[in-house]
Amino acid sequence: MPKTEEQYKKMREDMRSKILEKSSLYFAKNGFGDTKIGDLAKYIGIGQGTMYMYFKSKEELFDEIRKCAENSEEIQGLMVLSKMPLPAEKKIEKISSEVVKRLAVDDRYAVKITILTQLMLEQEKGLYSNNLYKAMEKIIKQGQKEGTVVEGDPLYLADLYWGTVYLYALKKLFVADYKQVKEETLLRLLEV
């Protein structure tokens, strides 16, 4: 007797998530060209063919990973934070604290930051049109008015801030005994 429709659906969804998550870490560490599907499948712990039951091609898998990074809750959460009615100083503290905490414990968070940033770097239309950048730019402008953020081009500062976050995401992924970024360092980038 066959499994129920729902059971199947659940199993498929679980497997898809598993592949997506493990692959994103693997791709982030090894790059697209250096990742062999055979190795990736072995790393995930499934057969090569199974990959192709869930994704039409290596290319499509990679695209899906990108999409997931873009739509991830964690990133969306930061956007929300930036819109709350708080002094800029507090917003920056909250965001920085959140980022530092996440980066400390969660490889997947680092992967998302990494992929997202690399996507932005490769985009033709330029880094600075990105939402995360724009949100941070707003906060910085607010902070400059409130006198809690250093003077200077707000976009330049936003760029510096997220760039530094990217830097430590990379380190989390690549360096075994890396020195975790401290909240105080992120704050120093922006605050007077």
Partner DNA sequence: CATGAATGAGCTTTCATTCAT
Partner DNA sequence: GATGAATGAAAGCTCATTCAT
Q: Give the whole-angstrom CA distance, residue 23 versus residue 40.
A: 7
Tokens of 7: 């059971």
Among 10, 31, 38, 145, binds DNA (CB under 7 A): 38
Strand segments (E) across the chain: none
Helix, strand, or coil (residue 191): strand
Q: Give the whole-angstrom CA distance, residue 29 versus residue 107.
A: 11
Name the residues that contact a second copy, by CB under 8 A: 30-35, 121-122, 124, 126-128, 150, 153, 155-156, 159-160, 163-164, 166-168, 170-171, 174-179, 181-182, 185, 188-189
The answer to whether 10 contacts DNA (rule: CB under 7 A) is: no
The answer to whether 6 contacts DNA (rule: CB under 7 A) is: no
The answer to whether 53 contacts DNA (rule: CB under 7 A) is: yes
Residue 185 binding partner per list a second copy, DNA, none, with a CB distance cut-off of 5 to 8 Å that depends on partner kind = a second copy
Q: Give the whole-angstrom CA distance, residue 183 versus residue 192.
A: 15
Helices and strands (DSSP H and E) totals, the chain: 10, 0
Q: Which is nearer to DNA, 47 or 163 (CB)?
A: 47
Tokens of 140: 């910085």
Helix (H) or strand (E) holding 172: helix 154-174
- Least distance (Å) between residue 179 CB and a second copy: 5
Q: Which is nearer to a second copy, 87 or 152 (CB)?
A: 152
Residue 1 binding partner per list a second copy, DNA, none, with a CB distance cut-off of 5 to 8 Å that depends on partner kind = DNA
Binding site for DNA (CB under 7 A): 1-3, 8, 11-12, 15, 35-38, 46-54, 56-59
